[in-house]
Amino acid sequence: MNRLYLLGLIACFTSHAALAWTSPALLDNKQAFIADLMTQMTLEEKVGQLRLISIGADMPRPRILEEIAAGNIGGSFNTVTRRDNRPMQDAAVQNSRLKIPLFFAYDVIHGHRTIFPISLALASSWDLQAIALSGRIAAIEASADGLDMTFAPMLDITRDPRWGRTSEGFGEDPYLVSQIARSMVKALQGATPSAADSVMASVKHFALYGAVEGGRDYNVVDMSPMRMYQDYLPPYHAAVDAGAGGLMVALNTINGVPATANTWLMQDLLRRDWGFSGVTISDHGAISELVSHGIARDGREAAKLAIKAGIDMSMADSLYRQELPALVRSGEVKVQEIDNAVREVLGAKYDLGLFHDPYRRIGIAAEDPAEVNAESRLHRAEARAVARQSMVLLKNRQQTLPLKKTGSIALIGPLADSPIDMMGSWSAAGVAAQSVTLRQGLNAALGDQARVIYALGANVTDDQHIIDYLNFLKEDKPVVVLDPRPPAELIAEALQAAEQADVIVAAVGEARGMSHESSSRTRLDIPPSQQALLRALKKTGKPLVLVLMNGRPLALNWEQANADAILETWFSGTEGGHAIADVLFGDYNPSGKLPITFPRTVGQIPTYYNHLRLGRPFVEGHPGNYTSQYFEEPNGPLYPFGYGLSYTDFDLSELQLSSRSLARDGSLEVSLTLKNTGARDGATIVQLYIRDMAASVVRPVKELKRFRKVTLKAGEQTRVSFSIDEDDLKFFNAQLQHVAEPGEFEVQIGLDSQAVQTQRFELL
């Protein structure tokens, strides 16, 4: 028996001895145990369990411990070390009357201490194993810090890149995001959420948060039920089916009713239709915001609406605690309604294994790490491997990339050596100083084989209003730090560096705070300070390689026309610099594909690929009036969904169907041969789309239904086949029934969503 396990057992035994709610025999029966515990709880203790507090400056620690001991708190978030959490758990299980343990949550979105690429980048890998690996490691690291729950994954379908939280989601496609939802929930929760190295996934934001009007954060959502069911709800549903233990409710309204007060959403859809049996949590302050939404007169009414609609736990407001006891006494809220919520909170704690051992993830003090922020090398290799899989090669004129490891490289740009930006937003307990910048990555890859000449070239933006916005509330430690020299001087220095080099690598894009909560944009271009730099660099005539760092699709017309190569690296995490270097030098052949469409201009939005068919569609190559288009610019995306280049070439043979008809209980094989016709080994993503040729409601031009990542050596080929059945042809009709209607369908296969070959078949 190893020592850790033994210590765990001792901790477990000690904690059991300290807990006095019920007989140990009941502990093995969740329902009976919780029912028994609830019979012992006062109304105040029940309401206390529904309170999730944010540990911040607003409430001093001694006060928090008192409140916990008084049974007024059910869980907390925003502390990230065992040492932080232990006294709070002590207060709960030693000093409170019923000794009910707390749970500790945190926003672990893309890695915990080892930061993985942002979610949008993870989605760009189209590699479910890689994504799951990032989730598993995040769970291992977060649980080792004493955390029980993460507010992740974020499963909001995003079709408007102006929305800052685009970075936090997995893109625009319901099928791809649903696949990722399943993988992430399973990876975070492991074999069971009660395992010591698992955290419970509290998926968010239920529902439709990604559809805020105009991409402006916290704005309203107004959407037809068909679109909801078809496009926006599937990822949350997939997460619920995968066993997510928690679910965070969105801040937005849905067709006039805020999600936080939406009985249809939380009871009819979530509990009744989907059978969700976990805990629902409001978003930050969302219950009190029901007053601002104008559907509650005051806090009392807000609390009443939220509890009746089905919000089990209130995050970061005290309305439940202030209002629910009186509402129950006056008969406006039934005890039964409180009990339903308490049962779910206790159920989550039970599922987390906390009643069996409240210190399951906190461990014992003797085992605490000496230095919590010490750099761990444990998961760096995985972070590097996942990061390089998440990069998308957007352009590569005359094989500018990969670069040779000789001569000299001018490395220029505000993001070339910015550790904090490498991490992206929501970087949990990541430590900026531990992330590898591109400058460090290039230097490490080159050693003394080639020279790197670095220059900043420009600040990330020169717009003081934007800088102030990004640094707002962070006065003690501004996140955007500027070089005070005038722009012309920075550019002149960059040009000097460029003159001495064989090739220019320009690391440009967004500061991480530009792609974050409450960071909606009206423009999608690279900020003007950096554009001026790029234009100056272009004039040198040297090969210009852009390394993009950003958390949303950008409008890159000038860059596409003028750069020799463009590599989208998103925000690639702790090992980002090494991973980018791997790709730039060809030690890894890029294989990522876009999980979201890149528009040409912001005015084109929305540009999602799976839009409904039109009566007057624009047809490429047939310009003319009275078709659906914008007349000032070319139509269609700059880079379509599913797009991404490689250093090798892939060829797809003619696609074959096993039959021209599909019986209701049958299946159809779609197959072709994929050949690597280039000179390098590489991987690509074969994508299968389906188009319903005629149906009772208007259907999309195409919908992703299958994909496979295939790795082939130079010259190698393989047969790729997919099986399709009736379920893949189903959609929500006008009555919201999930049906497949007979008739003709088109299968489309390609290496992106636009360049596809097609074949038709009939569903009988």
Residues near ligand BGC (CB under 6 A): 107, 151, 204, 283-284, 517
Cβ proximity to ligand BGC: between 149 and 712 the closer is 149
743-750 vs 408-412, strand pairing mode:
unpaired
Contact (Cβ atoms closer than 8 angstroms) between residue 82 and residue 363: yes
If the CB atoms of residues 551 and 576 are measured against ligand BGC, the closer one turns out to be: 551
Q: Could you tell me how many residues make up the chain?
A: 764
Beta strands 103-106 and 246-249, pairing class: unpaired
Considering only CA atoms, which of 531, 542, 733, 761 is closest in space to residue 666? 761
> Is the CB of 345 or the CB of 394 nearer to ligand BGC?
345
Q: What is the phi/psi pair of residue 305, to 5°?
A: -60, -45
Q: Report d(CA 556, CA 545) in Å as an integer.
A: 14
Catalytic residue check, 417? no
In the complex with ligand BGC, which residue's Cβ is closer, 107 or 582?
A: 107
Q: Which is nearer to ligand BGC, 204 or 521 (CB)?
A: 204
Question: Is 73 buried (19+), middle (13-18) or exposed (0-12) by CB count in 10 A?
Answer: buried
If one counts every other C-beta atom within 10 angstroms of the C-beta of residue 400, the result is: 16
The amino acid at residue 211 is A
Cα–Cα nearest to 271, from 180, 344, 200, 199: 344
Nearer to ligand BGC, 103 or 151 (CB): 151
Cα–Cα distance measured from residue 609 to residue 159, given in angstroms and rounded to the nearest whole number: 9
Distance of alpha carbon 327 from alpha carbon 296, whole angstroms = 14
Nearer to ligand BGC, 54 or 376 (CB): 54
CB of 284 to ligand BGC, least distance (A): 4
We find the least distance from the C-beta atom of residue 107 to ligand BGC, in angstroms, to be: 5
The least distance separating ligand BGC from the CB of residue 298, rounded to whole angstroms, comes to 23
Question: Closest Cα to residue 185, out of 225, 211, 155, 141?
Answer: 155
Residue owning tokens 């949550």: 105
By the 8 A CB rule, do 134 and 111 touch?
Answer: yes
Minimum distance from residue 427 beta carbon to ligand BGC (Å): 13
| Backbone phi, psi, residue 411, to 5° | -105, 115
Output the smallest distance, CB 347 to ligand BGC, in A.
21
Torsion sign over Cα 348, 352, 354, 358: negative
Of 283 and 559, CB closest to ligand BGC: 283
- Closest alpha carbon to 170 in 117, 108, 122: 122
- Residue 264: CB minimum distance to ligand BGC, A: 22
Our CB check for ligand BGC shows the closer of 51 and 204 to be: 204
Nearer to ligand BGC (CB atom), residue 204 or residue 538: 204
**Minimum separation from the CB atom of position 494 to ligand BGC (A):** 38
Indicate the residue whose CB is closest to ligand BGC.
151
Q: How far apart are CA 308 and CA 257, in angstroms?
A: 14
- Would you call the peptide bond into 123 cis, given omega within 30 degrees of 0 as the criterion? no
First-last CA distance in the chain = 61
Name residues whose C-beta falls within 8 Å of residue 571's C-beta, 6 or more positions apart in sequence: 117, 118, 121, 167, 421, 422, 423, 424, 425, 512, 515, 549, 550, 551
State the CB neighbour count (10 A cutoff) for residue 274: 15
- Rank residues 429 and 534 by Cβ distance to ligand BGC and give the closer one: 429
Q: How far is the CB of 193 from ligand BGC (least distance, A)?
A: 18
The least CB distance from residue 569 to ligand BGC, in Å, is 24
Active-site choice (127, 160, 231, 283)? 283
Query: What is the closest distance, in whole angstroms, from the C-beta atom of residue 282 to ligand BGC in the complex?
Result: 10
Find the angle CA(197)-CA(202)-CA(208) to the nearest 5 degrees. Answer: 150
In the numeric block, which tokens belong to residue 431?
């430590």
Buried b (16+ CB within 10 A) or exposed e, 589-599: bbbbbbbbbbb
Residues 6 or more apart whose CB falls under 8 angstroms from that of 534 comprise 506, 508, 526, 544, 546, 558, 559, 562, 563
The least distance separating ligand BGC from the CB of residue 306, rounded to whole angstroms, comes to 16
Concatenated DSSP letters for 618-682?
--TT---SSSS--SSS--S-SB-TT--B-SS-EEE---EES-SEE-TT-EEEEEEEEEE-SSS-E
Q: Which residues are catalytic?
A: 283
